[in-house]
């Protein structure tokens, strides 16, 4: 080895830790969101300060994202000055980015300076390959948490902010924040002064075409679309959304908001997201959400999911996930409760409200169960470890997601809670259910929209209070162990069994259409996108065994030019034979023919009724009187 033996440079942390003390003064924040053709948010901030060292933080760990996804790369044109008269920028001050925490900026505030003028542009993505698109010529999502910096050293709940936003003239804006103006109709809207954590949790949607529907005295459905006709909801469609609010309050027994605003963008031009907030949610649905009601069923459990988060995730929050500021790392150990149980209640409330039919809900459970029955990743990676996935992969596409695993705490978590629900019903003779657990755990302190944290032991205690059982072992086996049994107990105990047929359900077909894919996961093991591009290969599937990988292109089937429908016909014709299916594939500049050994025909998951008498799965998705 060489003679050189360097020693590491000491890392000094000069960023003050967050303390639960009030920040002196009120920050003013102005965001100009009118440049919708270029996706630019222009930010002007006035921050009261005292002379001496100061650190300003750009939010890194964003609530609801469960990961450090603050888009610091989109911040540009940062200038910091001593504030001049009448809001003008005064003497420029030098800033220095922290070399360890790149979301932090150091400033030396001179004697005599009492306010800083901070200006920058947030250059939002103008194409999906740059990140989430949040501003289009017709709709925008103003996420305050992306358009501000804040002083280090304080809990975000201890910093007060007075914010305003400017939108294109004639646009309509909606938010859980209440404005000080009479109307949210274009121009500049001035919002009430609130704590920084409330501001960050209260995004604004604005759009050229908008409609608002009162779902209850406390809940509003705010709709935004690219065309006026896309807002033409029928009375029965609005009634199903009203029923969602009714069924949720009957389930939880309390409301943890003074008012709640669904912010729903019906567009395929803005990012396809759903993001929870305490008194609102950011939601995106297909443009034909109302116009083609049958085809949009696959998208209608989003609002039930995000609404449930007002109780599960916002009011009750895992103790290691709650943080005092947006710099402290989040720990995601209980996301199978935060997201998994929310996913479960999202499916249940979608059915109880009539947003999704009972048949489609059963097909949803079938599709989820089918994924995990044959998922190779469960053999090496416990569900608990998938709670780290957003931090690890940031939702980047993976070559073999069925083996690597993704954010399985959502859907496999939902099956665990279905299992728990049907077990409580069975043990109590139908007298009790997970509804009782939800009411006990989430339903106290009506109208309190603060946060109450919990730990694993609190979850176990809530279950035991409703139905005594070894719930700690029940959850440990399903969450923490490698290769647990396939999560079918809730379905089996619920009066059904998982089967496969050669016909897809309506929900499956609608999802294929929305994703623009042909999903043959449970036959060949392929997901095929537009232009015959292989988007996914299931680990251990026939296609995997033949050497097919994502990124390949299908050129021909059995000597004929590739076509989606022809592939399905060939799969059907090969059923019960011994003849493999020959696929000519292109991978880069190379062409080769592979023989896929599959003679089982087309396979799509469904649930089939077993036994006689009432089925508890049917009971749990039925509306509550």
| Residue partners of 182: CB distance under 8 A and separation at least 6 | none
Q: What is the Cα–Cα distance from 236 to 248, expressed in whole angstroms?
A: 18
Whether residue 69 contacts residue 394, with contact meaning beta carbons closer than 8 Å, is answered with yes
Q: Enter the tokens of residue 335.
A: 């996301």
If one looks up domain 506-604 in CATH, what number appears?
Answer: 2.30.42.10
Q: Enter the tokens of residue 387.
A: 């709670």
Q: What is the Cα–Cα distance from 71 to 125, expressed in whole angstroms?
A: 10
In this structure, what DSSP letter does residue 580 have?
P
For the chain, which residues make up each domain, given as ranges?
14-207, 332-497, 506-604
Q: How far is CA 522 from the centre of its chain?
A: 26
* 568: helix, strand or coil: helix
Helix (H) or strand (E) holding 563: none
* 103: helix, strand or coil: coil
pTM for the full model?
Answer: 0.96
User: Which residues of the chain carry a pLDDT beneath 70?
Assistant: 1, 85-89, 181-186
Backbone angles phi, psi at 474, to 5 degrees: -55, -50
Model pLDDT, residue 394 = 83
Q: Enter the tokens of residue 530.
A: 């537009």
* Rg (the chain; Cα; Å): 26
The highest-level CATH class for domain 14-207 is mainly beta
Model pLDDT, residue 606 = 98
Q: Enter the tokens of residue 103.
A: 């979301």
Task: Please give, one letter per residue, the 3-state secondary structure of 377-402.
Answer: HHHCCCHHHHHHHHHHHCCCCCCCHH
Whether residue 443 contacts residue 248, with contact meaning beta carbons closer than 8 Å, is answered with no
Question: CA nearest 408: which of 464, 369, 361?
Answer: 369
Q: How far is CA 267 from the centre of its chain?
A: 17
- 65 to 200, 337, 389, 538, 592: CA distances (angstroms): 13, 15, 11, 27, 42
Model pLDDT, residue 83 = 85
Helix (H) or strand (E) holding 544: helix 542-545
Model pLDDT, residue 271 = 86
Asked: is 332-497 a CATH 1.10.10.10 domain? The reply is no
| Residue partners of 565: CB distance under 8 A and separation at least 6 | none
Torsion (CA) 508, 510, 511, 513 in degrees, nearest 10 = 120
Q: Are strands 452-454 and 316-318 parallel, antiparallel or unpaired?
A: parallel
Model pLDDT, residue 390 = 94
How many helices and strands, by DSSP H and E, does the chain display? 17, 32
Whether residue 477 contacts residue 484, with contact meaning beta carbons closer than 8 Å, is answered with yes
Whether residue 248 contacts residue 260, with contact meaning beta carbons closer than 8 Å, is answered with no
């Amino acid at each position: 080895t060489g003679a050189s033996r360097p020693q590491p440079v000491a890392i000094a942390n000069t960023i003050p830790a967050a303390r639960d003390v009030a920040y002196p003064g009120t920050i003013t924040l102005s965001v100009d969101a009118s440049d919708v053709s270029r996706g630019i948010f222009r930010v002007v901030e006035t921050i009261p300060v005292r002379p001496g060292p100061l650190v300003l933080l750009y939010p890194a760990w964003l609530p609801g994202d469960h990961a450090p996804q603050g888009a610091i790369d989109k911040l540009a044109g940062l200038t910091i000055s001593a504030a001049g008269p009448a809001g003008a920028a005064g003497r420029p001050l030098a800033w220095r980015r922290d070399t360890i925490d790149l979301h932090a900026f150091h400033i030396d505030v001179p004697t005599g300076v009492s306010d800083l003028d901070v200006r920058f542009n947030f250059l939002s993505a103008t194409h999906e390959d740059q990140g989430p698109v949040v501003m289009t010529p017709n709709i925008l999502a103003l996420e305050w948490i992306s358009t501000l910096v804040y002083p280090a050293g304080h809990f975000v709940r201890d910093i007060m902010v007075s914010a305003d936003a400017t939108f294109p003239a004639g646009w309509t804006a909606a938010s859980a924040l209440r404005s000080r103006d009479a109307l949210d109709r274009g121009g500049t809207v001035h919002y009430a002064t609130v704590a920084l954590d409330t501001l960050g949790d209260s995004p604004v949607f604005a759009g050229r075409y908008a409609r608002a529907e009162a779902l209850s005295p406390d809940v509003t459905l705010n709709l935004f679309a690219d065309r006026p006709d896309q807002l033409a909801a029928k009375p029965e469609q609005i009634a199903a959304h009203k029923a969602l609010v009714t069924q949720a309050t009957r389930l939880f027994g309390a409301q943890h908001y003074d008012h709640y605003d669904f912010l729903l963008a019906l567009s395929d031009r803005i990012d396809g997201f759903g993001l929870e907030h305490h008194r609102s949610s950011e939601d995106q649905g297909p443009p034909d959400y109302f116009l083609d009601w049958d085809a949009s069923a696959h998208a209608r459990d989003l609002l039930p999911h995000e609404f449930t988060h007002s109780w599960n995730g916002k009011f009750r929050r895992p103790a290691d996930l709650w943080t005092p500021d947006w710099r402290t790392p989040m720990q995601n150990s209980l996301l199978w409760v935060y997201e998994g149980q929310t996913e479960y209640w999202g499916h249940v409330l979608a059915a109880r409200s009539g947003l999704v039919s009972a048949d489609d809900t059963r097909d949803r459970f079938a599709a989820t169960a089918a994924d995990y029955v044959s998922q190779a990743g469960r053999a090496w990676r416990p569900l608990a470890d998938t709670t780290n996935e957003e931090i690890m992969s940031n939702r980047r596409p993976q070559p073999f997601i069925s083996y690597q695993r993704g954010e399985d705490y959502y859907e496999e978590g939902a099956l665990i809670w279905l299992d728990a629900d049907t077990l409580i019903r069975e043990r109590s003779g139908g007298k009790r259910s997970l509804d009782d657990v939800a009411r006990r755990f989430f339903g106290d302190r009506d109208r309190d929209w603060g946060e109450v944290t919990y730990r694993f032991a609190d979850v176990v205690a809530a279950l035991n209070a409703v139905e005594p059982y070894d719930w700690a072992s029940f959850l440990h086996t399903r969450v923490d162990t490698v290769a647990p049994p396939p999560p079918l107990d809730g379905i089996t105990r619920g009066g059904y069994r998982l089967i496969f047929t050669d016909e897809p359900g309506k929900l499956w077909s609608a999802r294929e259409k929305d994703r623009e894919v042909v999903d043959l996961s449970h036959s060949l093991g392929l997901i095929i996108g537009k232009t015959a591009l292989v988007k996914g290969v299931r680990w251990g599937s026939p296609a995997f065994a033949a050497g097919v990988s994502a990124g390949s292109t299908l050129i021909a089937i059995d000597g004929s030019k590739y076509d989606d429908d022809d592939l399905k016909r060939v799969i059907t014709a090969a059923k019960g034979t011994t003849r493999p299916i020959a696929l000519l594939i292109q991978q880069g500049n190379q062409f080769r023919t592979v023989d896929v050994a599959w003679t089982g025909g087309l396979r799509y998951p469904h649930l089939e009724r077993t036994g006689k008498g009432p089925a508890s799965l049917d009971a749990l998705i039925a509306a509550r009187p």
